[in-house]
């Protein structure tokens, strides 16, 4: 992969695609590739950088959503993928990402800007054989373009593997594809984590661990022999650790927190400066200048001005008032405060008692009203019996027969 590709790459096809392929690339794939390359180089690991990309394909629409590194080993033709590890890890990712279901759609590797080389073609054919599919894409990351690109461009190129027949043989070639970056909630969380945590990231050389171990062993031996020089040696070791630039997890967390707060303050200052510049650019208004008779221009954004006014109105409510300390109050003021507290307590007690009495009175009124309604609906209510058809009261005579009142009866 270190050798340069020829000027005319024979692995790139010149035939145009019959149907355009729409590709959406998610930032999680880029974060995974960047993290893997950084760890691979920092740990001085050997072997090629290769990983799998998971996504979904619906016709000519393709998404690249997740990625992970692949394990390699020595084979007959050189470096090859570990088949058992590859199959097991792919099944694990499929089990995790079931809704929506994801599948392997491509691989990523390092490569030159001229295009794929023979080693890329060999790994593509190997992945096609392992997955029993021909539609495997290739994402090449160009490390030489990391410090050169500007304007938000990415140092990557996406290729589609196609089958072409030349002579009597069928060969695999690559066709360059365009892509769009699709951002979701998970990607925003990942990007925010990288942005806040990258400020405290530090790479420790691989040989420092052995050096530190040998230094610790020699220090312990000196402590056993000398005895009295224990404090000085401990201080020297601590100073050496600080001088080496190795921070404790607590210090890293504190630095990350302070960095996040500093970034938030800078962003707030920038936005306030922007609002102030916008307000200064506006013409004088009759709301602030009584002598101005010029109407507001048509380009005035009244919605934005109302939002700024509402924000300024809410600021006094968000800021908590600074309460005076008890030690700084005069005796008369302190007595008035205590008197106000006593009066407030008595008012609350009277209000609570009035509410309780109102509830009792309401309950009694409901009971009386319900009993009155029951008596009015009863046909035999009263002490002398019920009402007859003539309007008089019904009663029983001396002979035991039912008789009416003054207005007549039966």
Q: Is the peptide bond before 100 cis (omega within 30 degrees of 0)?
A: yes
- Domain range for 357 is 338-377
Q: Rounded distance, CA 410 to CA 404, Å?
A: 7
Q: Rounded distance, CA 113 to CA 9, Å?
A: 11
pLDDT of residue 379: 64
Examine residue 93 and state whether it is found in any structural domain, yes or no.
yes
Q: Residue 278 pLDDT > 70, yes or no?
A: yes
Q: Residue 107 pLDDT > 70, yes or no?
A: yes
One domain for residues 132 and 278 = no
What phi, psi does 177 have (nearest 5°)?
A: -125, 150
Count CB atoms within 10 A of the CB of residue 275: 15
Asked if 140 and 134 count as a contact pair (C-beta separation under 8 A), the reply is no
318-375 pLDDT, tens digit per residue, is: 765 554 444 455 666 777 888 888 889 999 999 999 999 999 999 999 999 999 988 8
One domain for residues 169 and 96 = yes
Examine residue 219 and state whether it is found in any structural domain, yes or no.
no
User: What average pLDDT is seen over the chain?
Assistant: 76
Examine residue 64 and state whether it is found in any structural domain, yes or no.
yes
Asked if 366 and 358 count as a contact pair (C-beta separation under 8 A), the reply is no
Strand order through the sheet with 103-110? 169-177, 156-166, 137-141, 103-110, 50-58, 61-69, 22-25, 180-181
Q: Rounded distance, CA 366 to CA 346, Å?
A: 30
DSSP for residue 6: P
| pLDDT above 90: percentage of residues in the chain | 22
Q: Residue 111 pLDDT > 50, yes or no?
A: yes
364-406 pLDDT, tens digit per residue, is: 999 999 999 888 887 655 544 444 444 445 444 555 444 544 4
One domain for residues 112 and 173 = yes
One domain for residues 254 and 372 = no
One domain for residues 183 and 252 = no
One domain for residues 183 and 108 = yes
Examine residue 28 and state whether it is found in any structural domain, yes or no.
yes
pLDDT of residue 245: 61
11-51 pLDDT, tens digit per residue, is: 888 887 777 788 999 988 988 898 899 889 888 888 889 99
315 dihedral zone (left: phi>0; alpha: psi -120 to 50; beta) = alpha
One domain for residues 168 and 262 = no
Q: Supply the CATH number for residue 44's domain.
A: 3.40.140.10
Asked if 53 and 139 count as a contact pair (C-beta separation under 8 A), the reply is yes
One domain for residues 165 and 252 = no
Q: Cα-Cα-Cα-Cα dihedral of 343, 349, 354, 359, to 10°?
A: 160
Examine residue 302 and state whether it is found in any structural domain, yes or no.
no
Examine residue 175 and state whether it is found in any structural domain, yes or no.
yes
Instruction: Choose the final residue of a domain: 258, 282, 306.
Output: 282
Examine residue 297 and state whether it is found in any structural domain, yes or no.
no
pLDDT of residue 232: 44
In whole angstroms, how far apart are CA 61 and each of 25, 105, 225, 291? 11, 12, 73, 63
One domain for residues 156 and 256 = no
Our CA angle for 310, 315, 317, nearest 5°, is 105
DSSP 131-149: HT-S--EEEEE-GGGTTT-
Examine residue 3 and state whether it is found in any structural domain, yes or no.
no
Q: Residue 122 pLDDT > 60, yes or no?
A: yes
Asked if 64 and 48 count as a contact pair (C-beta separation under 8 A), the reply is no
Instruction: Choose the final residue of a domain: 197, 232, 262.
Output: 197
Q: Which residues pair with 162 in a beta bridge?
A: 173
Of 258 and 335, which is predicted with more confidence? 258
Nearest to 287 by CA among 307, 306, 269: 306
Of 148 and 239, which is predicted with more confidence? 148
One domain for residues 358 and 263 = no
In whole angstroms, how far apart are CA 129 and each of 52, 147, 256? 14, 36, 46
204-236 pLDDT, tens digit per residue, is: 555 444 444 444 454 444 444 444 444 444 455
Instruction: Choose the final residue of a domain: 282, 304, 326.
Output: 282
One domain for residues 360 and 274 = no
Q: Residue 145 pLDDT > 70, yes or no?
A: yes
One domain for residues 169 and 30 = yes
Q: Residue 127 pLDDT > 80, yes or no?
A: yes
Structural domain count of the chain: 3
pLDDT of residue 238: 47
Q: Rounded distance, CA 86 to CA 101, Å?
A: 18
3-state SS, residue 159: strand
The answer for residues whose C-beta is within 8 angstroms of residue 191's C-beta and 6 or more apart is: 27, 31
The answer for residues whose C-beta is within 8 angstroms of residue 119's C-beta and 6 or more apart is: 1, 48, 109
pLDDT of residue 229: 47
């Amino acid at each position: 992969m270190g050798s340069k590709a020829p000027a005319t790459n024979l692995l790139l096809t010149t035939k145009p695609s019959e149907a355009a392929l729409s590709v959406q690339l998610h930032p999680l794939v880029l974060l995974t590739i960047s993290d893997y390359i950084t760890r691979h180089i920092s740990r001085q690991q050997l072997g090629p950088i290769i990983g799998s990309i998971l996504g979904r394909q619906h016709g000519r629409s393709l998404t690249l959503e997740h990625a992970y590194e692949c394990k390699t080993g020595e084979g007959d033709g050189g470096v090859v993928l570990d088949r058992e590890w590859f199959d097991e890890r792919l099944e694990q990712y499929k089990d995790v990402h079931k809704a929506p279901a994801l599948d392997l759609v491509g691989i990523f590797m390092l490569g030159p800007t001229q295009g794929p080389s023979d080693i890329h073609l060999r790994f593509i054919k190997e992945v096609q054989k392992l997955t029993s599919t021909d539609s495997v894409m290739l994402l090449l990351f160009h490390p030489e373009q990391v410090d050169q690109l500007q304007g938000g461009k990415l140092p990557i190129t996406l290729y589609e593997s196609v089958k072409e027949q030349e002579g009597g043989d069928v060969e695999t070639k690559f066709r360059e594809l365009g892509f769009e970056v699709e951002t979701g909630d998970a990607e925003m969380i990942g990007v925010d984590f990288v942005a806040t945590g990258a400020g405290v990231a530090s790479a420790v050389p691989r040989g420092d661990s052995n050096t530190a171990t040998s230094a610790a062993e020699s220090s312990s031996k000196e402590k056993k022999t000398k005895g009295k020089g224990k404090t000085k040696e401990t201080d020297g070791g601590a100073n050496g650790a600080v001088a080496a630039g190795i921070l404790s997890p607590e210090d890293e967390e504190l630095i990350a927190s302070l960095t996040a707060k500093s970034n938030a303050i800078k962003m707030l200052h920038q936005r306030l400066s922007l609002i102030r510049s916008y307000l200064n650019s506006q013409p004088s208004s009759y709301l602030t200048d009584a002598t101005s008779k010029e109407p507001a221009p048509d380009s005035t954004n009244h919605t934005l001005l109302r939002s700024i006014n509402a924000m300024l109105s809410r600021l006094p409510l968000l800021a908590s008032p600074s309460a005076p300390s008890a030690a700084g109050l005069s005796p008369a003021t302190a007595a008035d405060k205590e008197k106000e507290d006593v009066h407030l307590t008595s008012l609350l007690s009277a209000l609570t008692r009035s509410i309780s009495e109102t509830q009792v009175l309401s309950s009694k009124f409901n009971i009386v009203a319900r009993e009155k309604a029951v008596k009015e609906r009863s046909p035999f209510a009263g002490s002398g019996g019920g009402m007859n058809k003539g309007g008089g009261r019904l009663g029983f005579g001396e002979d035991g027969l039912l008789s009416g009142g003054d207005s007549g009866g039966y």
